[in-house]
Structure 1
Amino acid sequence: MSTGREIRLVEEDDGWWSAIDEAAGVASQGETRREALADLDEAVAVTEDARTDDTPAPEPDAPWFDDE
């Protein structure tokens, strides 16, 4: 069953694999192609859940966000 997603797989210089779903704006990596794709599926699902969640984003809690 096809989801119609276009995914790019890249073998990096260090031997790891990157999986990129540009339409979703999500990327992942793994030691194997299968791992990179599985991690990408999980990352896309989490991202889609976060994008549909009505909960407001938390305020940044890091010193580099200070407006001073």
Structure 2
Amino acid sequence: MSSGKEIRLKNREGSDLWTAVDAETGVASQGRSRQEALENLDEAVEGYRGAGRPPTEEELRELGIDPEENESGGELPDILE
């Protein structure tokens, strides 16, 4: 859980939700307890950093993408840089 980096936890008075923010990435998440907020933050930060695996050819086909014409990598569009 949480990489040992700076994490900010908040619970607004009168709310049953906790908010957790990873200071390094700016990624935020929430949960109904401190523990849940931190676990959700871990998952969100992993997603932010690109954790996971590339989709299979079958998964691409299910999304209507021809794997033979699909290109990965290269330059990002300006809006994503």
The CA distance in 1 between the partners of 2:73 and 2:26, in whole Å, is: 20
Give 2:73's aligned residue: 54
Distance (Å, rounded) in 1 between the aligned partners of 2:73 and 2:10: 34
Unpaired runs of at least 5, structure 2: 52-71
2:35 is the counterpart of 1:34 = yes
The total of aligned residue pairs comes to: 55
Q: How does 1:3-42 map to 2 (within 5 A)?
A: 3-13=3-13, 14-42=15-43
Report the identity percentage: 46
Task: Kindly provide the CA deviation profile for residues 8-53 of structure 1, in whole angstroms up to 9, marking residues without a partner as x.
Answer: 1101231210000121110000000000000000000000007xx8
Over aligned residue pairs, what C-alpha RMSD do you find?
Answer: 2.7
Bigger CA radius of gyration:
2
Moved over 3 A (4+): 53-57
**TM-score, reference length from structure 2:** 0.56
| Stretches of structure 1 lacking an aligned partner (at least 5 in a row) | 58-68
